[in-house]
Amino acid sequence: MWKEFKEFAMKGNILDLAIGVVIGGAFGKIVTSLVENIIMPIVGMLTGGIDLTESFMFGSGEAQVKLGEFIQSIIDFLIIAFSIFMALRVLSKINHKKKEQVAQEPTTPELDPKEELLKEIRDLLKNNNHI
C-alpha cells in the first residue's frame, strides 16, 4: 500500500498540482494584502474617507452583515481571476507558437538506402517493360 501511494504521489501531475496550490495560496495572500492595504485605502480617499469595511455594516450586537468586507473579497477574486486569465493567455500563445513552428517544419521522410535501391530497381523494370 505504501508503494502504491508513493507511485501516486510521485506522478508529475500530482507534484504540479501541489506546487500550484502552494503558489496559489501565497499569491492569494499577496492579492489580499494588496486589496486591503493599498486599493481599499485609495478607494477610501477617493470617496471622502469612507472605509468600506466599517461603513457598510448593519445588524445588531454580534450579528453583523459585513457588506464592505464582502465587496473587498469580490475585488480580491476579480484580481486573482484576471491574473490567472492573463497567465493562461500567455501560456496559450506560447504553446500555439510552438505548435505552429512544428507544423511549418517540412517533414520529408528520409528513405533507407535499401528503399532507394528498391525504388531505382522498380523504375528500371517499369522502363524495360514499356520498351
**Over the stretch 68-86, which tens digit does the pLDDT of each residue have?**
888 888 888 888 888 888 8
12-16, 55-59, 91-95, 125-129: which has the minimum mean pLDDT?
Answer: 12-16
pLDDT class for 59, splitting at 50, 70, 90?
confident
Taking the C-alpha atoms of residue 42 and residue 63, their distance in angstroms, rounded to an integer, is 28
Average pLDDT of the chain is 81
Which parts of the chain fold into alpha helices (H)?
A: 2-9, 12-34, 40-46, 52-55, 67-104, 113-129
* Residue 128, pLDDT above cutoff 70: yes
pLDDT(9) > 70 = no
Going from the C-alpha of 102 to that of each of 92, 93, 110, the distances in angstroms are 15, 14, 18
For the chain, what percent of residues have pLDDT higher than 70?
90
**Residue 83 or residue 9, greater confidence:** 83
Name the architecture of domain 2-129.
Answer: Orthogonal Bundle (1.10)
- Given a cut of 70, whether residue 106 has pLDDT beyond it is no
pLDDT at 95 over 60: yes
42-53 pLDDT, tens digit per residue, is 888 887 877 777
